[in-house]
A and B are shown apart, each in its own frame.
Chain A
Amino acid sequence: MHANSVRLVQLVILVVIIGGWQMGVSSGLIDRFFFPPPFEIGGQIIRWVTDTSFYRHVGITLSETVLGYVIGTAFGVAAGVWLGLSRNAARIMDPFIKALNAIPRVVLAPIFVLWLGLGLWSKVALAVTLVFFVTFFNAMQGVREVNPVVLANARVLGARRSELLRHVYFPAAASWILSSLRTSVGFAVVGAIIGEYLGSSAGLGYLIAQAEGNFDAVGVFAGIIILAIFVLIMDSVLDVVENKLIKWRPNAAEKPA
Protein backbone atom coordinates (compact mmCIF):
# COMPACT_ATOMS: atom_id res chain seq x y z
CA MET A 1 0.00 0.00 0.00
CA HIS A 2 1.23 3.48 -0.79
CA ALA A 3 2.57 5.49 2.15
CA ASN A 4 0.04 8.25 1.56
CA SER A 5 -2.95 5.93 1.60
CA VAL A 6 -1.65 4.34 4.83
CA ARG A 7 -1.61 7.82 6.37
CA LEU A 8 -5.11 8.45 5.04
CA VAL A 9 -6.51 5.25 6.56
CA GLN A 10 -4.81 6.08 9.85
CA LEU A 11 -6.43 9.52 9.79
CA VAL A 12 -9.84 8.01 9.05
CA ILE A 13 -9.52 5.59 11.99
CA LEU A 14 -8.58 8.46 14.28
CA VAL A 15 -11.47 10.63 13.10
CA VAL A 16 -13.97 7.77 13.44
CA ILE A 17 -12.85 6.94 17.00
CA ILE A 18 -12.72 10.53 18.23
CA GLY A 19 -15.79 11.59 16.26
CA GLY A 20 -17.78 8.57 17.45
CA TRP A 21 -16.69 9.23 21.01
CA GLN A 22 -17.64 12.91 20.78
CA MET A 23 -21.01 12.10 19.22
CA GLY A 24 -21.66 9.36 21.75
CA VAL A 25 -21.11 11.82 24.56
CA SER A 26 -23.19 14.56 22.88
CA SER A 27 -26.11 12.21 22.29
CA GLY A 28 -25.92 10.91 25.84
CA LEU A 29 -25.05 7.31 24.89
CA ILE A 30 -21.71 7.60 26.74
CA ASP A 31 -21.54 8.88 30.31
CA ARG A 32 -19.44 12.02 30.24
CA PHE A 33 -18.40 11.51 33.88
CA PHE A 34 -16.33 8.43 32.95
CA PHE A 35 -15.57 9.31 29.34
CA PRO A 36 -15.35 13.07 29.01
CA PRO A 37 -15.74 14.40 25.46
CA PRO A 38 -12.50 14.60 23.44
CA PHE A 39 -12.90 18.32 22.91
CA GLU A 40 -12.86 18.93 26.66
CA ILE A 41 -9.75 16.78 27.00
CA GLY A 42 -8.16 18.74 24.15
CA GLY A 43 -9.13 21.97 25.86
CA GLN A 44 -7.52 20.79 29.10
CA ILE A 45 -4.32 19.88 27.26
CA ILE A 46 -4.23 23.32 25.62
CA ARG A 47 -4.86 25.00 28.98
CA TRP A 48 -1.91 23.07 30.45
CA VAL A 49 0.40 23.61 27.56
CA THR A 50 -0.22 27.37 27.54
CA ASP A 51 0.35 27.57 31.31
CA THR A 52 3.98 28.09 32.32
CA SER A 53 3.63 26.22 35.64
CA PHE A 54 2.81 23.08 33.63
CA TYR A 55 6.38 23.00 32.34
CA ARG A 56 7.67 22.75 35.88
CA HIS A 57 5.81 19.45 36.14
CA VAL A 58 7.08 18.26 32.78
CA GLY A 59 10.60 19.31 33.73
CA ILE A 60 10.50 17.36 36.97
CA THR A 61 9.16 14.19 35.34
CA LEU A 62 11.69 14.60 32.54
CA SER A 63 14.64 14.94 34.90
CA GLU A 64 13.47 11.94 36.94
CA THR A 65 13.13 9.90 33.77
CA VAL A 66 16.45 10.94 32.31
CA LEU A 67 18.33 10.44 35.58
CA GLY A 68 16.74 7.05 36.19
CA TYR A 69 17.42 6.10 32.61
CA VAL A 70 21.06 7.16 32.57
CA ILE A 71 21.95 5.71 35.96
CA GLY A 72 20.04 2.47 35.38
CA THR A 73 21.53 2.03 31.92
CA ALA A 74 25.07 2.73 33.09
CA PHE A 75 24.83 0.17 35.89
CA GLY A 76 23.02 -2.28 33.65
CA VAL A 77 25.63 -2.13 30.89
CA ALA A 78 28.53 -2.36 33.34
CA ALA A 79 27.04 -5.32 35.21
CA GLY A 80 25.89 -7.01 32.02
CA VAL A 81 29.28 -6.77 30.34
CA TRP A 82 31.00 -7.98 33.50
CA LEU A 83 28.77 -11.01 33.99
CA GLY A 84 28.76 -11.69 30.26
CA LEU A 85 32.55 -11.96 30.29
CA SER A 86 32.94 -13.90 33.51
CA ARG A 87 31.04 -17.17 33.57
CA ASN A 88 31.99 -17.74 37.20
CA ALA A 89 30.71 -14.39 38.39
CA ALA A 90 27.52 -15.02 36.39
CA ARG A 91 27.04 -18.41 38.05
CA ILE A 92 27.54 -16.98 41.52
CA MET A 93 25.32 -13.94 41.02
CA ASP A 94 22.57 -15.75 39.14
CA PRO A 95 20.18 -16.59 42.04
CA PHE A 96 20.54 -13.10 43.53
CA ILE A 97 19.76 -11.42 40.25
CA LYS A 98 16.79 -13.65 39.64
CA ALA A 99 15.47 -12.97 43.15
CA LEU A 100 15.89 -9.20 42.79
CA ASN A 101 14.28 -9.22 39.37
CA ALA A 102 11.35 -11.23 40.77
CA ILE A 103 10.36 -8.40 43.13
CA PRO A 104 7.50 -6.36 41.67
CA ARG A 105 9.19 -2.97 41.52
CA VAL A 106 6.08 -1.04 42.55
CA VAL A 107 6.26 -2.39 46.10
CA LEU A 108 9.70 -0.82 46.43
CA ALA A 109 8.26 2.68 45.97
CA PRO A 110 7.25 3.16 49.65
CA ILE A 111 10.70 1.98 50.75
CA PHE A 112 12.40 4.45 48.46
CA VAL A 113 10.17 7.21 49.76
CA LEU A 114 11.17 6.16 53.28
CA TRP A 115 14.86 6.18 52.40
CA LEU A 116 15.08 9.10 50.02
CA GLY A 117 12.10 11.28 50.88
CA LEU A 118 9.25 12.57 48.74
CA GLY A 119 11.50 14.44 46.35
CA LEU A 120 13.20 13.61 43.08
CA TRP A 121 15.51 10.81 44.17
CA SER A 122 12.92 8.30 45.34
CA LYS A 123 11.43 8.38 41.81
CA VAL A 124 14.85 8.12 40.21
CA ALA A 125 15.59 5.07 42.35
CA LEU A 126 12.38 3.39 41.25
CA ALA A 127 13.13 4.10 37.59
CA VAL A 128 16.66 2.76 38.05
CA THR A 129 15.42 -0.57 39.40
CA LEU A 130 13.18 -0.94 36.34
CA VAL A 131 15.70 0.16 33.74
CA PHE A 132 18.66 -1.72 35.20
CA PHE A 133 17.38 -5.23 34.56
CA VAL A 134 16.26 -4.63 30.99
CA THR A 135 19.65 -3.22 30.01
CA PHE A 136 21.52 -5.72 32.13
CA PHE A 137 20.06 -8.83 30.49
CA ASN A 138 20.53 -7.41 27.01
CA ALA A 139 24.12 -6.33 27.60
CA MET A 140 24.96 -9.76 29.02
CA GLN A 141 23.39 -11.49 26.03
CA GLY A 142 25.16 -9.16 23.62
CA VAL A 143 28.57 -9.89 25.12
CA ARG A 144 27.94 -13.64 25.14
CA GLU A 145 26.90 -13.69 21.50
CA VAL A 146 30.07 -12.08 20.18
CA ASN A 147 31.13 -13.91 17.03
CA PRO A 148 33.93 -16.26 18.19
CA VAL A 149 35.80 -15.94 14.87
CA VAL A 150 35.87 -12.14 15.10
CA LEU A 151 37.06 -12.46 18.68
CA ALA A 152 39.80 -14.95 17.75
CA ASN A 153 40.87 -12.68 14.90
CA ALA A 154 41.20 -9.67 17.20
CA ARG A 155 43.21 -11.74 19.68
CA VAL A 156 45.56 -13.04 17.00
CA LEU A 157 46.04 -9.45 15.80
CA GLY A 158 47.35 -8.68 19.26
CA ALA A 159 44.43 -7.12 21.13
CA ARG A 160 44.81 -7.03 24.89
CA ARG A 161 41.87 -7.49 27.22
CA SER A 162 40.98 -3.81 27.47
CA GLU A 163 41.26 -3.46 23.70
CA LEU A 164 39.02 -6.48 23.19
CA LEU A 165 36.44 -4.78 25.39
CA ARG A 166 36.62 -1.54 23.46
CA HIS A 167 36.92 -2.85 19.92
CA VAL A 168 35.02 -6.14 20.06
CA TYR A 169 32.75 -6.65 23.06
CA PHE A 170 31.21 -3.19 23.35
CA PRO A 171 30.47 -2.69 19.65
CA ALA A 172 29.11 -6.23 19.38
CA ALA A 173 26.89 -5.69 22.38
CA ALA A 174 25.92 -2.19 21.27
CA SER A 175 23.01 -3.22 19.07
CA TRP A 176 21.61 -5.38 21.84
CA ILE A 177 22.13 -2.63 24.38
CA LEU A 178 20.57 0.00 22.13
CA SER A 179 17.51 -2.11 21.46
CA SER A 180 17.10 -2.49 25.21
CA LEU A 181 17.52 1.26 25.62
CA ARG A 182 14.33 1.85 23.70
CA THR A 183 12.37 -0.54 25.88
CA SER A 184 13.88 0.97 28.98
CA VAL A 185 12.78 4.52 28.09
CA GLY A 186 9.26 3.29 28.65
CA PHE A 187 10.30 1.72 31.92
CA ALA A 188 12.04 4.88 33.07
CA VAL A 189 8.84 6.84 32.50
CA VAL A 190 6.80 4.19 34.31
CA GLY A 191 9.16 4.36 37.28
CA ALA A 192 9.03 8.13 37.45
CA ILE A 193 5.24 8.32 37.05
CA ILE A 194 4.44 5.59 39.57
CA GLY A 195 6.78 7.22 42.03
CA GLU A 196 5.02 10.56 41.58
CA TYR A 197 1.63 8.93 41.65
CA LEU A 198 2.31 7.27 45.00
CA GLY A 199 3.65 10.33 46.71
CA SER A 200 4.97 13.63 45.45
CA SER A 201 4.23 17.31 45.10
CA ALA A 202 5.06 17.80 41.43
CA GLY A 203 5.35 16.05 38.10
CA LEU A 204 3.00 14.62 35.51
CA GLY A 205 2.16 11.64 37.76
CA TYR A 206 1.22 14.13 40.47
CA LEU A 207 -1.06 15.98 38.02
CA ILE A 208 -2.85 12.76 37.15
CA ALA A 209 -3.13 11.70 40.78
CA GLN A 210 -4.54 15.13 41.66
CA ALA A 211 -7.09 15.01 38.86
CA GLU A 212 -8.12 11.55 39.96
CA GLY A 213 -8.50 12.76 43.54
CA ASN A 214 -11.00 15.36 42.27
CA PHE A 215 -12.85 12.78 40.16
CA ASP A 216 -11.70 14.88 37.23
CA ALA A 217 -11.67 12.39 34.33
CA VAL A 218 -10.77 15.16 31.88
CA GLY A 219 -7.52 15.77 33.76
CA VAL A 220 -6.71 12.05 33.94
CA PHE A 221 -7.22 11.56 30.20
CA ALA A 222 -5.32 14.73 29.36
CA GLY A 223 -2.44 13.54 31.56
CA ILE A 224 -2.39 10.16 29.84
CA ILE A 225 -2.23 11.73 26.40
CA ILE A 226 0.51 14.13 27.46
CA LEU A 227 2.48 11.15 28.80
CA ALA A 228 2.08 9.25 25.55
CA ILE A 229 3.39 12.25 23.57
CA PHE A 230 6.21 12.62 26.09
CA VAL A 231 7.36 9.00 25.51
CA LEU A 232 6.98 9.31 21.73
CA ILE A 233 9.27 12.33 21.68
CA MET A 234 11.90 10.53 23.75
CA ASP A 235 11.62 7.52 21.48
CA SER A 236 12.25 9.56 18.36
CA VAL A 237 15.27 11.18 20.01
CA LEU A 238 16.64 7.67 20.59
CA ASP A 239 15.97 6.81 16.97
CA VAL A 240 18.36 9.53 15.91
CA VAL A 241 20.94 8.44 18.50
CA GLU A 242 20.73 4.82 17.38
CA ASN A 243 21.24 5.66 13.73
CA LYS A 244 24.25 7.78 14.62
CA LEU A 245 25.84 5.07 16.77
CA ILE A 246 25.27 1.99 14.62
CA LYS A 247 26.04 3.18 11.13
CA TRP A 248 27.89 -0.04 10.29
CA ARG A 249 24.80 -2.20 10.28
CA PRO A 250 23.45 -3.22 6.91
CA ASN A 251 20.12 -1.71 6.08
CA ALA A 252 17.76 -2.44 3.24
CA ALA A 253 18.53 0.69 1.25
CA GLU A 254 22.20 -0.09 0.77
CA LYS A 255 23.26 -2.73 -1.72
CA PRO A 256 26.63 -4.47 -1.39
CA ALA A 257 29.15 -3.38 -3.98
Chain B
Amino acid sequence: MAVAALKPVDHYHPSPQSSAKPMVALQDVRMAFGEFVAVDEVNLTVADGEFLAIVGPTGCGKSTILNAIAGLLKPAKGTVSIDGKQVANVGGDIGYLFQQDALLPWKTSIENVELGLMFRGMGKAERRALSMDWLAKVGLKGFEDRYPHQLSGGQRKRVQMAQALITGPKVILMDEPFSALDIHTRHLMQNELLRLWQEDRRAVVMITHDLEEAIALGDRVVVLASGPRSRVIDSFPVDLERPRDVAEIKLDPRFLELYKNIWASLRGEVEKSYARK
Protein backbone atom coordinates (compact mmCIF):
# COMPACT_ATOMS: atom_id res chain seq x y z
CA MET B 1 0.00 0.00 0.00
CA ALA B 2 3.07 2.17 0.17
CA VAL B 3 2.79 2.94 -3.52
CA ALA B 4 -0.81 4.01 -3.23
CA ALA B 5 0.08 6.30 -0.39
CA LEU B 6 2.61 8.03 -2.62
CA LYS B 7 0.00 8.88 -5.22
CA PRO B 8 -1.81 12.16 -4.86
CA VAL B 9 -5.22 11.45 -3.45
CA ASP B 10 -6.81 14.89 -3.47
CA HIS B 11 -7.84 16.42 -6.77
CA TYR B 12 -6.46 19.75 -5.69
CA HIS B 13 -2.96 18.49 -6.07
CA PRO B 14 -2.56 18.85 -9.81
CA SER B 15 1.03 17.89 -10.43
CA PRO B 16 2.02 14.40 -9.37
CA GLN B 17 5.48 14.83 -10.91
CA SER B 18 7.36 15.03 -7.65
CA SER B 19 5.90 11.91 -6.10
CA ALA B 20 5.20 9.50 -8.97
CA LYS B 21 7.76 7.49 -10.90
CA PRO B 22 8.63 8.51 -14.45
CA MET B 23 6.44 6.60 -16.93
CA VAL B 24 7.76 7.90 -20.23
CA ALA B 25 11.34 8.99 -20.68
CA LEU B 26 12.96 10.34 -23.83
CA GLN B 27 16.71 10.77 -23.66
CA ASP B 28 18.59 12.78 -26.23
CA VAL B 29 16.21 11.62 -28.97
CA ARG B 30 16.76 12.49 -32.59
CA MET B 31 14.12 11.66 -35.21
CA ALA B 32 15.28 11.78 -38.79
CA PHE B 33 13.86 10.96 -42.23
CA GLY B 34 16.96 10.35 -44.30
CA GLU B 35 18.91 13.59 -44.28
CA PHE B 36 16.06 15.57 -42.75
CA VAL B 37 16.26 15.86 -38.98
CA ALA B 38 12.79 16.60 -37.61
CA VAL B 39 13.59 16.76 -33.91
CA ASP B 40 16.90 16.62 -32.10
CA GLU B 41 18.18 16.45 -28.53
CA VAL B 42 14.74 15.92 -27.07
CA ASN B 43 14.75 15.14 -23.36
CA LEU B 44 11.35 14.61 -21.80
CA THR B 45 10.02 12.82 -18.79
CA VAL B 46 6.36 12.20 -18.09
CA ALA B 47 5.44 11.07 -14.62
CA ASP B 48 2.87 8.36 -13.98
CA GLY B 49 -0.52 10.04 -13.89
CA GLU B 50 0.77 13.24 -15.44
CA PHE B 51 -1.02 14.94 -18.32
CA LEU B 52 1.62 16.48 -20.54
CA ALA B 53 0.65 18.75 -23.42
CA ILE B 54 3.14 19.52 -26.16
CA VAL B 55 2.61 22.63 -28.24
CA GLY B 56 4.64 23.91 -31.14
CA PRO B 57 4.33 25.50 -34.54
CA THR B 58 3.09 23.38 -37.42
CA GLY B 59 5.68 21.12 -38.96
CA CYS B 60 7.96 21.09 -35.92
CA GLY B 61 7.88 17.31 -35.62
CA LYS B 62 5.39 16.96 -32.80
CA SER B 63 3.84 13.83 -34.25
CA THR B 64 7.21 12.15 -34.76
CA ILE B 65 7.78 12.32 -31.01
CA LEU B 66 4.47 10.55 -30.37
CA ASN B 67 5.22 7.95 -33.01
CA ALA B 68 8.58 7.31 -31.37
CA ILE B 69 6.89 6.71 -28.01
CA ALA B 70 4.36 4.42 -29.70
CA GLY B 71 7.18 2.49 -31.36
CA LEU B 72 5.84 3.26 -34.83
CA LEU B 73 9.07 5.10 -35.65
CA LYS B 74 12.56 4.36 -34.41
CA PRO B 75 14.72 7.23 -33.17
CA ALA B 76 17.92 7.86 -35.13
CA LYS B 77 19.67 8.55 -31.86
CA GLY B 78 18.84 8.36 -28.17
CA THR B 79 16.41 6.14 -26.30
CA VAL B 80 12.70 6.09 -25.58
CA SER B 81 11.51 4.11 -22.61
CA ILE B 82 8.17 3.39 -21.02
CA ASP B 83 8.06 2.39 -17.38
CA GLY B 84 11.81 1.82 -17.39
CA LYS B 85 11.77 -0.49 -20.43
CA GLN B 86 13.16 0.68 -23.73
CA VAL B 87 10.58 0.81 -26.54
CA ALA B 88 11.62 -1.65 -29.23
CA ASN B 89 8.39 -2.48 -30.98
CA VAL B 90 4.82 -1.45 -31.64
CA GLY B 91 1.99 -2.88 -29.60
CA GLY B 92 3.15 -2.23 -26.06
CA ASP B 93 1.16 -0.76 -23.23
CA ILE B 94 -0.04 2.22 -25.22
CA GLY B 95 -3.32 3.82 -26.11
CA TYR B 96 -3.13 6.09 -29.13
CA LEU B 97 -5.82 8.57 -30.03
CA PHE B 98 -5.21 9.61 -33.62
CA GLN B 99 -6.12 12.89 -35.23
CA GLN B 100 -7.74 11.22 -38.22
CA ASP B 101 -10.43 8.57 -38.28
CA ALA B 102 -8.55 5.50 -37.25
CA LEU B 103 -11.46 3.12 -36.71
CA LEU B 104 -11.60 0.06 -38.88
CA PRO B 105 -14.47 0.99 -41.21
CA TRP B 106 -15.45 -2.66 -41.78
CA LYS B 107 -16.07 -3.27 -38.08
CA THR B 108 -18.99 -2.12 -35.96
CA SER B 109 -18.46 0.09 -32.90
CA ILE B 110 -18.30 -2.84 -30.55
CA GLU B 111 -15.97 -4.81 -32.80
CA ASN B 112 -13.70 -1.78 -32.96
CA VAL B 113 -13.70 -1.27 -29.22
CA GLU B 114 -12.87 -4.88 -28.44
CA LEU B 115 -9.93 -5.10 -30.89
CA GLY B 116 -7.20 -4.42 -28.32
CA LEU B 117 -8.61 -7.07 -25.97
CA MET B 118 -8.96 -9.55 -28.82
CA PHE B 119 -5.32 -9.05 -29.84
CA ARG B 120 -4.39 -9.71 -26.22
CA GLY B 121 -6.23 -13.01 -26.37
CA MET B 122 -9.22 -12.30 -24.13
CA GLY B 123 -12.20 -14.63 -24.55
CA LYS B 124 -15.14 -13.50 -26.63
CA ALA B 125 -17.84 -13.23 -23.94
CA GLU B 126 -15.55 -11.40 -21.54
CA ARG B 127 -14.34 -8.82 -24.06
CA ARG B 128 -17.86 -8.25 -25.36
CA ALA B 129 -19.07 -7.43 -21.86
CA LEU B 130 -16.13 -5.10 -21.21
CA SER B 131 -16.60 -3.36 -24.55
CA MET B 132 -20.29 -2.85 -23.81
CA ASP B 133 -19.34 -1.19 -20.54
CA TRP B 134 -16.88 1.08 -22.31
CA LEU B 135 -19.34 2.07 -25.00
CA ALA B 136 -21.78 2.99 -22.25
CA LYS B 137 -19.00 4.92 -20.51
CA VAL B 138 -18.41 7.09 -23.56
CA GLY B 139 -22.15 7.59 -23.96
CA LEU B 140 -22.75 5.30 -26.91
CA LYS B 141 -25.04 2.71 -25.40
CA GLY B 142 -27.24 1.31 -28.16
CA PHE B 143 -24.74 2.16 -30.90
CA GLU B 144 -22.90 -1.17 -30.70
CA ASP B 145 -23.85 -2.40 -34.13
CA ARG B 146 -23.33 0.81 -36.06
CA TYR B 147 -20.54 0.98 -38.60
CA PRO B 148 -18.25 4.03 -38.36
CA HIS B 149 -19.85 5.63 -41.42
CA GLN B 150 -23.18 5.56 -39.61
CA LEU B 151 -21.80 7.65 -36.73
CA SER B 152 -21.14 11.38 -36.48
CA GLY B 153 -17.60 12.74 -36.13
CA GLY B 154 -17.97 13.17 -32.37
CA GLN B 155 -19.40 9.69 -31.95
CA ARG B 156 -16.53 8.21 -33.93
CA LYS B 157 -14.10 10.02 -31.61
CA ARG B 158 -15.91 8.51 -28.62
CA VAL B 159 -15.55 5.03 -30.08
CA GLN B 160 -11.87 5.75 -30.70
CA MET B 161 -11.47 6.82 -27.07
CA ALA B 162 -13.07 3.63 -25.80
CA GLN B 163 -10.93 1.63 -28.23
CA ALA B 164 -7.71 3.26 -27.03
CA LEU B 165 -8.49 3.16 -23.30
CA ILE B 166 -10.13 -0.24 -22.88
CA THR B 167 -6.85 -2.11 -22.52
CA GLY B 168 -5.87 0.13 -19.61
CA PRO B 169 -2.64 1.33 -21.23
CA LYS B 170 0.19 2.72 -19.11
CA VAL B 171 0.57 5.64 -21.47
CA ILE B 172 -2.04 7.45 -23.54
CA LEU B 173 -0.85 9.31 -26.61
CA MET B 174 -3.00 11.88 -28.37
CA ASP B 175 -2.23 13.55 -31.65
CA GLU B 176 -4.44 16.64 -31.91
CA PRO B 177 -7.34 14.34 -31.14
CA PHE B 178 -10.13 16.89 -31.39
CA SER B 179 -8.86 19.27 -34.04
CA ALA B 180 -11.27 17.97 -36.66
CA LEU B 181 -14.35 18.59 -34.49
CA ASP B 182 -16.45 21.74 -34.28
CA ILE B 183 -15.89 23.91 -31.22
CA HIS B 184 -18.91 22.76 -29.18
CA THR B 185 -18.28 19.09 -29.81
CA ARG B 186 -14.64 19.73 -28.99
CA HIS B 187 -15.44 21.18 -25.55
CA LEU B 188 -17.78 18.31 -24.88
CA MET B 189 -15.16 15.76 -25.86
CA GLN B 190 -12.43 17.47 -23.86
CA ASN B 191 -14.56 17.37 -20.72
CA GLU B 192 -15.41 13.76 -21.45
CA LEU B 193 -11.74 12.95 -21.80
CA LEU B 194 -10.88 14.68 -18.52
CA ARG B 195 -13.67 12.77 -16.79
CA LEU B 196 -12.41 9.40 -18.05
CA TRP B 197 -8.84 10.29 -17.24
CA GLN B 198 -9.73 11.47 -13.75
CA GLU B 199 -11.31 8.07 -13.03
CA ASP B 200 -8.09 6.27 -13.73
CA ARG B 201 -5.11 8.56 -14.04
CA ARG B 202 -2.52 7.47 -16.55
CA ALA B 203 0.41 9.23 -18.09
CA VAL B 204 -0.80 11.24 -21.06
CA VAL B 205 1.19 12.87 -23.83
CA MET B 206 -1.02 15.10 -25.93
CA ILE B 207 0.07 17.05 -28.95
CA THR B 208 -1.87 20.09 -30.01
CA HIS B 209 -1.46 23.34 -31.84
CA ASP B 210 -4.23 24.81 -29.70
CA LEU B 211 -2.63 26.50 -26.69
CA GLU B 212 -5.98 26.89 -24.91
CA GLU B 213 -6.58 23.18 -25.14
CA ALA B 214 -3.07 22.47 -23.87
CA ILE B 215 -3.53 24.63 -20.77
CA ALA B 216 -7.11 23.55 -20.12
CA LEU B 217 -6.24 19.86 -20.15
CA GLY B 218 -2.60 19.56 -19.14
CA ASP B 219 -0.65 19.38 -15.91
CA ARG B 220 2.32 20.70 -17.79
CA VAL B 221 2.80 22.39 -21.17
CA VAL B 222 5.99 21.88 -23.13
CA VAL B 223 6.91 24.18 -26.03
CA LEU B 224 8.77 22.84 -29.03
CA ALA B 225 10.95 25.03 -31.24
CA SER B 226 10.09 25.44 -34.89
CA GLY B 227 11.50 22.72 -37.15
CA PRO B 228 13.70 21.35 -38.54
CA ARG B 229 15.92 20.18 -35.66
CA SER B 230 13.17 21.08 -33.27
CA ARG B 231 13.89 20.81 -29.52
CA VAL B 232 12.06 21.38 -26.27
CA ILE B 233 12.59 25.02 -25.37
CA ASP B 234 10.29 25.57 -22.42
CA SER B 235 8.19 23.77 -19.87
CA PHE B 236 5.37 25.36 -17.86
CA PRO B 237 3.61 23.66 -14.96
CA VAL B 238 -0.14 24.30 -15.01
CA ASP B 239 -1.31 24.77 -11.43
CA LEU B 240 -5.04 24.92 -12.11
CA GLU B 241 -7.13 22.76 -9.86
CA ARG B 242 -8.98 19.69 -11.00
CA PRO B 243 -11.60 18.66 -11.87
CA ARG B 244 -11.73 21.31 -14.53
CA ASP B 245 -14.39 22.41 -16.96
CA VAL B 246 -12.62 23.35 -20.16
CA ALA B 247 -15.11 26.00 -21.16
CA GLU B 248 -15.20 27.71 -17.76
CA ILE B 249 -11.53 27.47 -16.94
CA LYS B 250 -10.69 29.77 -19.82
CA LEU B 251 -12.15 32.63 -17.80
CA ASP B 252 -9.91 31.97 -14.81
CA PRO B 253 -7.35 34.78 -14.35
CA ARG B 254 -4.58 32.25 -13.73
CA PHE B 255 -5.45 30.62 -17.03
CA LEU B 256 -5.01 33.94 -18.80
CA GLU B 257 -1.70 34.56 -17.09
CA LEU B 258 -0.42 31.13 -18.10
CA TYR B 259 -1.64 31.71 -21.61
CA LYS B 260 0.28 34.98 -21.77
CA ASN B 261 3.49 33.43 -20.50
CA ILE B 262 3.39 30.39 -22.75
CA TRP B 263 2.32 32.38 -25.78
CA ALA B 264 5.31 34.69 -25.25
CA SER B 265 7.51 31.63 -25.60
CA LEU B 266 5.56 30.00 -28.42
CA ARG B 267 5.02 33.14 -30.47
CA GLY B 268 8.68 33.54 -31.47
CA GLU B 269 8.73 29.97 -32.75
CA VAL B 270 5.51 30.36 -34.70
CA GLU B 271 6.86 33.50 -36.35
CA LYS B 272 10.13 31.74 -37.17
CA SER B 273 8.28 28.85 -38.76
CA TYR B 274 6.26 31.24 -40.91
CA ALA B 275 9.34 33.25 -41.89
CA ARG B 276 10.89 30.04 -43.16
CA LYS B 277 8.01 29.31 -45.54
Contacts and interface: CB of A to CB of B under 8 A. Distances in A.
Contacts of A168: 104
Interface string B164-186: 00010000000000000000000
B124 interface: no
B98 to A, nearest CB: 6
A159 B95 CA distance: 13
Interface in B81-113: 90-91, 94-96, 98, 100-108
B152 A155 contact: no
Contact of B150 (A156, A157, A174, A257): A257
A155 B72 contact: yes
B119 A257 contact: no
A126 to B, nearest CB: 34
A150 interface: yes
A157 B91 contact: yes
A20 B44 CA distance: 84
Interface in A239-257: 246-250, 254, 256-257
Contacts of A119: none
A156 B94 contact: yes
B112 to A, nearest CB: 9
A97 B91 CA distance: 36
A152 B104 contact: no
B149 A248 contact: yes
Contact of B100 (A149, A156, A246): A149
Contacts of A153: 96, 98, 102-104, 163
Given A152-B72, A158-B120, A256 B115 contact: no
**Binding site secondary structure of chain B:** loop
A158 B149 contact: no
Given A155-B72, A158-B116, A159-B119, A171 B149 contact: no
In this complex, the member of A159, A171, A248 whose beta carbon has the largest number of chain B beta carbons within 10 angstroms is A248
A256 B143 CA distance: 12
Contacts, number: 81
Contacts of A174: 106
B155 A257 contact: yes
Nearest to A163: B119
B70 interface: yes
A105 interface: no
A156 B115 contact: no
Given A156-B72, A160-B119, A257-B155, A149 B98 contact: yes
Interface residues of A, number: 25
A155 B151 contact: no
A37 to B, nearest CB: 52
In this complex, the member of A152, A156, A171 whose beta carbon has the largest number of chain B beta carbons within 10 angstroms is A156
A257 B105 contact: no
B103 A157 contact: no
A256 to B, nearest CB: 6
A166 to B, nearest CB: 11
Contacts of B96: 152-153, 156
A248 B105 contact: yes
A80 to B, nearest CB: 18
Nearest to B96: A156
Contacts of A157: 91, 115-116, 119, 163, 167
A150 B104 contact: yes
Given A157-B163, A160-B119, A167 B98 contact: no
Contacts of A154: 104, 115
B119 A152 contact: no
B147 interface: yes
B147 A248 contact: yes
B146 interface: yes
Contacts of A150: 102-105
B180 to A, nearest CB: 12
Contacts of B119: 157-160, 163
Contacts of B150: 250, 254, 256-257
A222 B153 CA distance: 55
B101 A256 contact: no
Interface in A136-165: 149-150, 152-160, 163
Contacts of A257: 143, 146, 150-152, 155
Contacts of B72: 152, 155-156
Given A250-B147, A254-B150, A257-B146, 18 more contacts: A149-B102, A150-B102, A150-B104, A152-B70, A152-B96, A153-B102, A154-B115, A156-B72, A156-B94, A156-B95, A157-B91, A157-B115, A158-B167, A167-B115, A247-B147, A249-B149, A250-B149, A257-B155
Interface of A: 149-150, 152-160, 163, 167-168, 171-172, 174, 246-250, 254, 256-257
12 contacts: A149-B100, A150-B105, A153-B96, A154-B104, A157-B167, A158-B91, A167-B104, A174-B106, A248-B106, A254-B149, A254-B150, A257-B143
